[in-house]
Structure 1
């Protein structure tokens, strides 16, 4: 588990499963940047029983506030090259936006990945108009590289995404 001053980033526990399923499948909380497709509760339970949402290709964590409530999710997963990992995140309750949960969770995960793995590059992809997500990337030291035009099909239309990256030497320079 990764502990910060605002939140804890940890693996999902069996005791969390029903709450997690309800949160992850809450369509209104997804907003404009997440697909409205969702997995059935039984499919999620089966996947959790098999892998606990941790494989070589991806690892899922929940973001927990100081009162032990799950407020979001953060994950890292296989990217285009073996030296690169992509990070994704979602805050479940829009009313919690701007309170620093996702920024702190992202910093904790970035530090963990660079300290424990050999990855050279971490990436974040976000809709350019998703100002909150762009701000998380910037606060965590990621640099904008460009826009991948109409590269995702979400909720019936193509969306462009902005690519951000953080290289190991850049991360190391901020840790000195």
Structure 2
């Protein structure tokens, strides 16, 4: 478990499963930047029973506030090369946006990945107009590298995404 001042980043527990399924499948909370694709509760339960959402290709964590409420998820997963890992996150309640939860969770995960793994590069992909997510990337030391034009198909249309990356030497220099 990774503890910060605002939140804790931890693995999902069996006791969390019903709450997690309801939150992750709440389509209205997904907004404009997340696909409306969802999985059945039975499928999610089966995947959790098989792997607890932790495999070599991906690892899912919940973001928990100080009152022990699950407020979001953050994950890292296989990217294009073995030295690169992509990070994704989602806040479940829009009223919590701008309070620093996702920034802290992202920084906790970045520190964890660089301290415990050999990855050289971490990436974040987001819609360029998702200014909240752009701010999270910038606050965590990620640099904008470019736009991947119409590379995602979300909610019935193609959407461009902006690529941000953080290299291990940049992370190390920021920690000094």
Report the TM range for the smaller structure's normalisation: over 0.9
1:51-72: CA deviation from partner (whole Å, max 9, x where unpaired): 0000000000000000000000
Give the CA RMSD over aligned residues.
0.2
1:117-138: CA deviation from partner (whole Å, max 9, x where unpaired): 0000000000000000000000
Residue equivalent to 1:93: 93
1:36-89: CA deviation from partner (whole Å, max 9, x where unpaired): 010000000000000000000000000000000000000000000000000000
Report deviation, 1:19: 0.1
Superposed, which structure 2 residues align to 1:81-120 within 5 Å? 81-120=81-120
Residue equivalent to 1:124: 124
- Counterpart Cα distance in 2 of 1:169 and 1:20: 36
Residue equivalent to 2:42: 42
Report deviation, 1:105: 0.1
- SS of 1:102's partner is helix
Query: Unpaired runs of 5+ in structure 1?
Result: none
- Counterpart Cα distance in 2 of 1:144 and 1:122: 12
Residue equivalent to 1:133: 133
Superposed, which structure 2 residues align to 1:65-80 within 5 Å? 65-80=65-80
Query: Unpaired runs of 5+ in structure 2?
Result: none
Give runs of ≥4 in structure 1 deviating > 3 Å.
Answer: none
- Counterpart Cα distance in 2 of 1:40 and 1:132: 29
Residue equivalent to 2:6: 6
- Counterpart Cα distance in 2 of 1:5 and 1:37: 33
- Counterpart Cα distance in 1 of 2:157 and 2:174: 39
- SS of 1:159's partner is strand
Taking structure 2 as the reference length, what is the TM-score of the superposition?
A: 1.00
1:84-135: CA deviation from partner (whole Å, max 9, x where unpaired): 0000000000000000000000000000000000000000000000000000
- SS of 2:165's partner is strand
Equivalenced residue count is 176
